[in-house]
Structure 1
Amino acid sequence: MNFKEFATKNVYRNVKAYFAYFLSSSISAALLFSFTMIIFHPKFVVLKLPGHMRNALHITTIIAYLFLCFFVFYSVSTFLKSRYKEFGILYIIGASRRQIQRMISIENIIITSLSGVVGIILGIVFSKILLAVSGKLLGVNALGFYIPFKAMIITFIGFIIIGIMISIFCSFIIKEDMVLKLLKGTKKPKAEPRTSIILVILCVVLLIVGYYMSITSSEKNIAYRIIPVTVIVIIATYLLFAELSTFIIKLLKKNRRLYMKKTTVLWVSNLLYRIKDNTRMFFLITITTTVALSAVGSVYAYWRDKEHQINKDFPQAFFLSDIYSNKNKIDLKGNFIETSLKNKDIEYNKANSELKLIIYGAEDKVAVIKEDTYKELASTLDLSIVRFNKNEAIMITDSTAHEEKSVVLDNTEIQVAKKVNNRIMPAFYGDVYVVKDNVYERINGSKVYFSTFNVKNYKDTLNICNGYKNKFSEDNMDKICKSFLKANILETTKIAYSVILFSAIFIGLIFFVTTASFLYNKCYMDIIEDKSKYKQLNKIGLTYKEIKKVLNIEIGVLFLLPYAVAVIHFIFAINALNAFQIKITVPAFQVIGIMLIVQIMYFLIIRKNYLLEIKKSLI
């Protein structure tokens, strides 16, 4: 038997150890293949997606590959550490460092190649369902089956490259001068984990600060808070597992009545070491799960709420505006829309008027309209009209901020009589102030002429919007010259959020599959030591029922603690969407519920196999 045959057979001998790594790699390969197959689909290629959306899909694929590389490296390094004794024996019987590295390289190339092939096969088997679901999600008709040669090549080559990179990576892990350490493996006695009260307090403070900054975010400051909050929570998460959890378990140990009660002494002591030893793994799983939950949850919340947001931000089916000197252009465009509506037998309400736009700096602007204009727009939208007195104004906004008592418009201070939350103009114009006619005439600003059309069901006007776009596509849009076509905006938004949601779900699945594999690998490493430990405890009187109780707690903490922390992070993170008045409760609970069900199912499967192995060792 040559060395290549020895390495190949070693994979078969360690099939149980490699199974989780192979299975998760195969599922990841299937997901990557399916995603690549969809974005290279002939029908998807001709879909009129904006360039940045196509780029987002390609970037998503790259992110997935990079994360897979990280996952494979982490899994392999963890798995190799569990084989220290095996490598030590090989060194003693004469194997060289180069031979050990070659053996590991052959093993990993075999597994990554096979997982790539299996993933492609799985992707093809379930391609019909995936294409139908993805087509519906992306807002197009069901994508038909085709032979995805390009996706096959990309997926297979990608996994071959991962295998080669692992071969290079492994040369830095196993070294010949570590024979004594390799032979001892993980049997060296461990000192009791220490905790720092300063780091425990810092962890609690950082969590409170991070959560507070998240839930108090507003539309104006959220962009500046995202990075600081993320950094704060990441640091706090690491300290939570490295210090706070150990501190809490030590407090449990000090409660002698609880600690010395039956099997509590055993699982509390075990958890003290398990959590401390697995700090990095818990940290990685928590952060990746939080990212997956937040990505899917936030995009899903936007996706569900997109129509409500568009109805709120764009009250009219059509809103056309330009500088007052270009009034004839707006009338020409308005005539086209009016004629199109009449040809389609669609009833409509029309309003033509003007506003003044006061522009401050590069972005800030304030729109001012007359009372008569306000009444006309409100009547076309069936909104109640708010009355106000001379030298007063109405503020029309959807902001939940504190009401202004007065406002200065072009050096003219006006008292704000009331704040109205129902928009009468597109959100582009921000807060709109309604003033009396004489006040309006005194205010200096860019005079804008606009024309609006409102219909009962704006979704029926999509063809008219497309016709308008084709006819007037040469117009240059700026701060004043604007065309808001509600049906077209909805269609564009649906496609955009569908693509983003599709990408978020894909990345979320990759994260979930790989983190599940981390847990399986950890369980496999622990079970070798646990078999010996519980066999000795069984001999001195600990029953299988008591062992089962202890392991239920230990495995439950291993699987559910990172998820529980990730869910808490996610709840505070998604609450930031309240700043944009997004309905988040239902989407959040749906995402948490689905992930929790899958996590519990995976926990039950691993727990059953784990207990079965322990039970066999007791016989």
Structure 2
Amino acid sequence: MNFREFAAKNVHRNVKAYFAYFLSSSISAALLFSFTMIILHPNLGAIDLPEYLIKALNITTVIAYLFLFFFVFYSVSVFLKSRYKEFGILYIIGASKKQIQRMISIENMIISSVSALLGIIAGLVFSKILLAVSGKLLGFNALEFYLPVKAMLITFIAFVIIGIVISIFCSFIIKEDMVLKLLKGTKKPKTEPKTSTILAITCVVLLTTGYYLSVTSSTKTLAGRIIPVTLMVIVATYLLFSQLTIFIIKLLKRNRTLYMKKTSVLWISNLLYRIKDNTRMFFLITITSTVALASIGSVYAYWRDKEAQIDRSFPQAFFFSDIYDNSSMVDEKVNFIEGSLKNEGIKYTKVNDEMKFIIPKGEKDQVVIIKEDTYKKLSSILYLNAANLSENETILAMPLTKHGRKNVVLENIELEVASKLDKGIIPAFYEEVYVVKDEAYEKIKGVKVYFNTINVKDYKNTLNISNNYYNNFPQDNVNKYYNNLLKSGILRATKVAYGVILFSAIFIGLIFFVTTGSFLYNKCYMDIIEDKKKYNQLNKIGLTFKEIKKILNIEIGVLFLFPYIIAVIHYIFAISALKYAFELNIAVPSLQVIFIVLIAQIIYFIIIRKNYLLEIKKSLL
């Protein structure tokens, strides 16, 4: 048997240890292949996606590949540490450092190549379903099947490169001068984990502050709070596992009634060491899962609510505006839309009037003012309540954000905000819009802008008209004064944009969850060797398998579910920021995402738990 055959047999002998890594690599290869196959689809290129969406898809592929590289390196390094004793024996019987490195390289290349091939095969088997689902997400008809030779080559080469690079890195982990350490393996006497009361309290303060800032965010404060809140939660998460949890477990130990009750002394003591030993892994899984949940959940919430957002942001089906000197150009565009609507037999209503731009006293940004008479024209078409204003009153139309302004000074005229509209009367592009009495409007000086709007019963039926408009009129750079807003075209672009982003978020999220699951399996495999010896000894002095099963249910349950529960809590507060800042309906999509993730994790936990208990039971016979 030559050395290559020895390395191949070594993989076969360690099949249980390699199983999770190999399965996760295969699933990751299938996901990477499927995603690459879709973004290289010839029909997708003919759709003429915006440049920024194409870049988003390419960046997603790079992020996924980098994370896969990190995942493979972490998994292999953890697994190699569990084989210290094996490598120590090989060194003693005469194996050279070069031979050990070659063996590791061959093992990595075998797993990387085979997992890439299996991933490609799995991707091809499910390609029809994936193409149909991706087409729906991206807002198009189901993409046709094709033979993705280029995607196959990219996936295979990518995983072979991962195997080569990881083999180089792994050569630095195992050193010939560590024979004594290798022979001892990972057996080291453990001291009781220490904790700091100050750091535990700091964790609580950081989490409470971060959560509070999340749920009290508004449109104006959200951007400024994202970075500090993220940093607070990241630091607090690490302290949660390294300090606060240890602190709580030590408090449980002081409760002698609970601690000394039957098997509690074992699982509480074991958890103290397990959580401390796995702090970094728990931290990594929690942060990674939070990112995956937040990205999928937020994008899914927007994707699900996209039509309602468009309705809130764009009240009219067609809106055109320009400075008053260019009013004839606005009317020309409106005439084109009217002619198209008449040709298709679509009934419509039209309102044309003016608005002014002005900077309120003490403010920096411009706001829009319209006459009460103009508001009544628009509200009658939009089925809004027409309010009668007193001389010094105004109506604030700013439906997408909360605003606590009680009064506003316009051209030295102080007006009290009598009410705030829940629906817009002109596109939300203009943000703050104030309705004032006709007399006050005439007194206030500002930039006068002419606008013309057309509304229809079902704007979705006007997509062809919007496309024809874009073909006949040049798309100039818009600004606050000059604008062309066609609702059906905006909805179409929004569907594509959110579809691409959601597709990318789901892909990245799946990669995250598959790989973190492998981290947990690798950790279980490393622990089971010690657990077999420990529970075998305890069984000999009277501990039953039923009691061992109860202890392991708690320990494995914490190992698998604890970081995900923390990630879900982080996610709930993160996604809540969208609700409070943008009044977005997030309850249903959030619960759907949480339910799917937790169900998948519970199923994975049940499978691993069953195999783990089976191995422990065999060791007791």
TM interval, short-chain normalised: over 0.9
C-alpha contact (below 8 Å) 1:33/1:123 kept by paired residues: yes
Match of 2:530 in 1: 529
Q: How do 1:31-42 residues align onto structure 2 when only pairs under 5 Å count?
A: 31-42=31-42
Residues 1:340 and 2:340 are matched in the alignment: yes
Residues 1:517 and 2:518 are matched in the alignment: yes
Tell which deviates more after alignment, 3-12 or 216-225: 3-12
Match of 1:562 in 2: 563
Residues 1:463 and 2:464 are matched in the alignment: yes
Distance apart, 1:399 and its partner CA = 5.1
Distance apart, 1:358 and its partner CA = 2.0
Match of 1:63 in 2: 63
Q: 1-side partners of 2:565 and 2:404: how far apart?
A: 39
Distance apart, 1:77 and its partner CA = 0.8
The amino acid across from 2:61 in the alignment is: T
Q: How do 1:3-18 residues align onto structure 2 when only pairs under 5 Å count?
A: 3-18=3-18
Q: 1:586 aligns with which of 582, 585, 588?
A: 588
Q: 1-side partners of 2:475 and 2:118: how far apart?
A: 51
C-alpha contact (below 8 Å) 1:365/1:429 kept by paired residues: no
For the residue of structure 1 that corresponds to 2:508, the secondary structure is helix
Distance 1:72 1:252, change over 3 A: same
Q: How do 1:95-174 residues align onto structure 2 when only pairs under 5 Å count?
A: 95-174=95-174
Distance apart, 1:311 and its partner CA = 0.3
Residues 1:484 and 2:485 are matched in the alignment: yes
The amino acid across from 2:471 in the alignment is: N
The amino acid across from 2:120 in the alignment is: I
Distance apart, 1:474 and its partner CA = 4.5
Match of 2:610 in 1: 608
C-alpha contact (below 8 Å) 2:359/2:365 kept by paired residues: yes
Q: 1-side partners of 2:319 and 2:401: how far apart?
A: 25
For the residue of structure 2 that corresponds to 1:221, the secondary structure is helix
Tell which deviates more after alignment, 31-40 or 382-391: 382-391
Distance apart, 1:459 and its partner CA = 0.4
Q: 2-side partners of 1:359 and 1:405: how far apart?
A: 17
C-alpha contact (below 8 Å) 1:353/1:450 kept by paired residues: yes
Structure 2: which 5+ runs fail to align? none
C-alpha contact (below 8 Å) 2:359/2:410 kept by paired residues: no
C-alpha contact (below 8 Å) 2:249/2:268 kept by paired residues: yes
Distance 1:362 1:87, change over 3 A: farther
Distance apart, 1:82 and its partner CA = 0.4
C-alpha contact (below 8 Å) 2:400/2:428 kept by paired residues: no
Q: 1:618 aligns with which of 614, 617, 620?
A: 620
Q: Deviations over 1:10-46 (max 9, x none)?
A: 1111111111100000000000000000000111111
Match of 2:321 in 1: 321
The amino acid across from 2:608 in the alignment is: I
Match of 2:19 in 1: 19
Distance apart, 1:221 and its partner CA = 1.1
For the residue of structure 1 that corresponds to 2:303, the secondary structure is helix
Distance apart, 1:392 and its partner CA = 2.1
Tell which deviates more after alignment, 4-13 or 506-515: 4-13
Distance apart, 1:181 and its partner CA = 1.3
Match of 2:249 in 1: 249
The amino acid across from 1:608 in the alignment is: K
Match of 2:78 in 1: 78
Distance apart, 1:615 and its partner CA = 0.7
Residues 1:598 and 2:600 are matched in the alignment: yes
The amino acid across from 1:591 in the alignment is: V
C-alpha contact (below 8 Å) 1:365/1:430 kept by paired residues: no
Distance apart, 1:214 and its partner CA = 1.0
Distance apart, 1:365 and its partner CA = 2.1
Q: Deviations over 1:283-328 (max 9, x none)?
A: 1111111111101000000001111111001000001000000010
Q: Deviations over 1:215-235 (max 9, x none)?
A: 111110111111111111111
Distance apart, 1:410 and its partner CA = 3.1
Match of 1:432 in 2: 433
Q: 2-side partners of 1:363 and 1:13: how far apart?
A: 72
The amino acid across from 1:436 in the alignment is: K
Q: How do 1:75-474 residues align onto structure 2 when only pairs under 5 Å count?
A: 75-358=75-358, 364-398=365-399, 401-474=402-475
Identity %: 72
Q: 1-side partners of 2:574 and 2:475: how far apart?
A: 42
Distance apart, 1:411 and its partner CA = 3.5
Distance apart, 1:386 and its partner CA = 0.8
Q: Deviations over 1:78-99 (max 9, x none)?
A: 1011001111111111222222
Q: 2-side partners of 1:170 and 1:572: how far apart?
A: 39
Structure 1 runs (4+) greater than 4 angstroms displaced: 359-363
The amino acid across from 1:572 in the alignment is: F
C-alpha contact (below 8 Å) 2:313/2:400 kept by paired residues: no
Q: Deviations over 1:367-416 (max 9, x none)?
A: 01111111111111111101111132221121553542210123332222
For the residue of structure 2 that corresponds to 1:67, the secondary structure is helix
For the residue of structure 2 that corresponds to 1:220, the secondary structure is helix
C-alpha contact (below 8 Å) 2:241/2:282 kept by paired residues: yes
Q: 1-side partners of 2:246 and 2:97: how far apart?
A: 38
Q: 1-side partners of 2:403 and 2:127: how far apart?
A: 53
Distance apart, 1:477 and its partner CA = 2.2
C-alpha contact (below 8 Å) 1:20/1:517 kept by paired residues: yes
The amino acid across from 2:428 in the alignment is: A
The amino acid across from 1:589 in the alignment is: L
Q: 1-side partners of 2:7 and 2:264: how far apart?
A: 44
Q: 1-side partners of 2:393 and 2:500: how far apart?
A: 46
Tell which deviates more after alignment, 185-194 or 293-302: 185-194
Q: 1-side partners of 2:146 and 2:401: how far apart?
A: 51
The amino acid across from 2:353 in the alignment is: S
C-alpha contact (below 8 Å) 1:394/1:433 kept by paired residues: yes
C-alpha contact (below 8 Å) 1:358/1:366 kept by paired residues: yes
The amino acid across from 2:551 in the alignment is: V
Q: Deviations over 1:111-157 (max 9, x none)?
A: 11111111111101111111111111111111111110110011011
The amino acid across from 2:616 in the alignment is: I
C-alpha contact (below 8 Å) 1:403/1:419 kept by paired residues: no
C-alpha contact (below 8 Å) 2:218/2:401 kept by paired residues: no
Q: Deviations over 1:203-262 (max 9, x none)?
A: 111111111111111110111111111111111111111111111111111000100000
C-alpha contact (below 8 Å) 2:131/2:145 kept by paired residues: yes
Distance apart, 1:362 and its partner CA = 12
Q: 2-side partners of 1:448 and 1:153: how far apart?
A: 57
Q: 1-side partners of 2:140 and 2:475: how far apart?
A: 28
Q: 2-side partners of 1:215 and 1:165: how far apart?
A: 44
RMSD: 1.4
C-alpha contact (below 8 Å) 2:219/2:401 kept by paired residues: no
The amino acid across from 1:455 in the alignment is: V
For the residue of structure 1 that corresponds to 2:145, the secondary structure is coil
Distance 1:135 1:401, change over 3 A: closer
Q: 1-side partners of 2:407 and 2:615: how far apart?
A: 74
Structure 1: which 5+ runs fail to align? none
The amino acid across from 2:92 in the alignment is: I
C-alpha contact (below 8 Å) 1:246/1:275 kept by paired residues: yes
Q: 2-side partners of 1:153 and 1:363: how far apart?
A: 56
Q: 2-side partners of 1:458 and 1:89: how far apart?
A: 75
Q: 2-side partners of 1:581 and 1:474: how far apart?
A: 32
Q: 2-side partners of 1:67 and 1:479: how far apart?
A: 42
For the residue of structure 1 that corresponds to 2:368, the secondary structure is strand
Tell which deviates more after alignment, 215-224 or 93-102: 93-102
